[in-house]
Structure 1
Amino acid sequence: MADTQFNWAQTKQLNPVQLFIAFAVPSAVAFTGFRFVLPALYAGGMPAIVAWPIIASIMLLCFTIVPLWLMNREAKELGISLKSRMCLKPLDRRQWLFSVLLLIVGLAVAGGAASAVPLWIDISGLSVPEYFPFFLNPTVDPMSTPIAELTPGFELKGAYWLIGLMVVTLFLNILVEELYFRAWLLPKMIGLGAAAWLINGIAFAFYHTFQLWLLPQLIPLSLMMAFVVYKTRSIWPAFAIHLLVNSLNVVAIAYLIVA
């Protein structure tokens, strides 16, 4: 099949109720997994740093398969390749430069917003549950906290297998967020006009109902990634930046394990 360019205007648009369901279902599944299943496993004696990636990987695998199936079916209907429908459109140097600069700005704003997280936690009354791993707790500095306090009841040092588990989990996280929320869902929102990327970005940030204490950081980066995909019609830049950020997280955890 010829790799015909995917025209976003040709894809079936979702109405407001369908859009709500499209965001609400994965949010509800994630909330159930991280706020009910995770604490149950933690209470049963499984360390948070082990339970979290296991639960996340199972849920993320399902939400990777779903958009691939949906996009493959739609690609056949539109007479285009799956690659085109996945919004894997090649970009020229100018488009890459534009995208990377915007995403770096988004990362910088999100990084700067980290200082607002403690204030947001105080104002909102949110708190980080003890059954969440340390790397999702913005009040914990893993480099200055004794390693025994980072993972109570679990010997982090020397747990090399955990690096592989985290790699799988964080890569699946990239696939889900780029394939489902941006490659599959965003083109189905362009009927909303210029507000499509704005609504997509905000709704994606609130998809993280299981960790709303990170909202000050999630919103600017979510908006910037949605905007870049909307403007370029490609998920490649968002995928690349996402991969870089998650790789740094893996490296940080690996350092604690190996050092």
Structure 2
Amino acid sequence: MRAFEDTRPNGIVELLLGDRHSLPLSVVLHLVPGALIVAAYLLIGEPFVKAIGYPTLMGWAIALCLVLIPILSGLLWLGRKHSGRFSLRGVLYYTDKPLSRGKLVAMVIALIVWMMVLSFATAPMNRFFLENFFTWVPYTDDAGSFTKFLDGYSHSVMLTTMVICLPLTGISLPLIEELYFRGFLLPRIAHLGDWAPVVSTVLFSLYHFWSPWVFVSRVIFMFPGFWLTWREKDIRPAIGMHVGVTSILATLGTIAVALNLI
């Protein structure tokens, strides 16, 4: 009996694992990680990569790891408190895979195309916001271009950066984001009804404090995947869209650097 009582949710654990999060709580849980990522970059990531002579992309990868990996560990800890073992079962929702494989593949392909086309099409709008509203942000020197963060570095340094960042910013870190934001947070604001995916998209876009000039376009190209995940109660469309696009872009970027195309 004692062992069972030790694993029962209580206090903050019960609050986090409850089926409903209040809107203020959800706002905090969405935005605090973004603030921590910026702090980790300014205090650790940026000084470190400058010291070793590497691009800022590496600094952001470090900052994201320093925040998102502990978040994943925290979700596993919640699973331990819930069930007595380190597991995401009972912590994440939308994991029952209700969508058929064929329907899921069709959705993900369409979402990837949508997100990639819109991300490029809205680039001029992002530059407009950057140049007119966010020049005061201290980490915008390498913003506004897909390749600017690599300018001025040797080919070996650029290639090393891309090879290291590909499995991180291209695959594992976006996956952790989806597990946290769509698997953990979105289902717990489902009581907002049709507004739930809207709130999820807006807060996730705001969470990216390191690129606020992309807020509007990020809402536009992310919303369909998050809406489908909410409607179908299946986290895989959001994971497929997000990780699919980031992994494709990271892979193409790595190949382009390896072949001296950029």
Q: Is the TM value for this pair above 0.5?
A: yes
Per-residue CA shift, 1:129-182, capped at 9, x if unaligned?
Answer: 5687x5xx3335x3xx7xxx8243554368447514431343222222210000
User: Within the alignment, does 1:50 sit opposite 2:49 as a pair?
Assistant: no
By how many angstroms is 1:27 displaced?
1.7
How do residues 49-88 of structure 1 correspond to structure 2 at under 5 angstroms? 49-70=57-78, 76=83, 82=89, 85-88=92-95
Task: Pick from 17, 21, 28 the counterpart of residue 14 of structure 1.
Answer: 21
Task: Pick from 36, 40, 47 the counterpart of residue 40 of structure 1.
Answer: 47
Q: Normalising to structure 1: TM-score of the pair?
A: 0.76
Q: 1:169 to 1:106 in 2, by over 3 A?
A: closer
Distance (whole Å) between structure 2 residues aligned to residue 99 and residue 158 of structure 1 = 30
Where structure 1 has 5 or more consecutive residues not aligned to the other structure, the ranges are 1-9
Q: Secondary structure at the match of 2:122?
A: helix
Q: 1:95 to 1:19 in 2, by over 3 A?
A: same
By how many angstroms is 1:252 displaced?
2.8
Identity of aligned residues (%): 16
By how many angstroms is 1:37 displaced?
2.9
Q: Normalising to structure 2: TM-score of the pair?
A: 0.75
User: Within the alignment, does 1:23 sit opposite 2:33 as a pair?
Assistant: no
Alignment size in residue pairs? 238
Where structure 2 has 5 or more consecutive residues not aligned to the other structure, the ranges are 1-16
Q: 1:150 to 1:204 in 2, by over 3 A?
A: same
Task: Pick from 104, 119, 138 the counterpart of residue 144 of structure 2.
Answer: 138
Distance (whole Å) between structure 2 residues aligned to residue 14 and residue 176 of structure 1 = 20
Letter in 1 for 2:172: L
Distance (whole Å) between structure 1 residues aligned to residue 152 and residue 119 of structure 2 = 29
Distance (whole Å) between structure 2 residues aligned to residue 107 and residue 256 of structure 1 = 17
Q: 1:101 to 1:84 in 2, by over 3 A?
A: farther
Distance (whole Å) between structure 2 residues aligned to residue 167 and residue 35 of structure 1 = 23
Per-residue CA shift, 1:26-59, capped at 9, x if unaligned?
Answer: 1221121233433333453542243332332232
Aligned CA-pair RMSD: 3.3
Task: Pick from 109, 113, 117 the counterpart of residue 108 of structure 1.
Answer: 117
By how many angstroms is 1:15 displaced?
1.1
Aligned partners of 1:34 and 1:210 also within 8 Å: no
Q: Secondary structure at the match of 2:135?
A: coil
Q: Secondary structure at the match of 1:88?
A: coil
Per-residue CA shift, 1:70-118, capped at 9, x if unaligned?
Answer: 35655x49xx982894523321234553565356434433332122112
Aligned partners of 1:23 and 1:207 also within 8 Å: yes
Distance (whole Å) between structure 2 residues aligned to residue 72 and residue 104 of structure 1 = 38
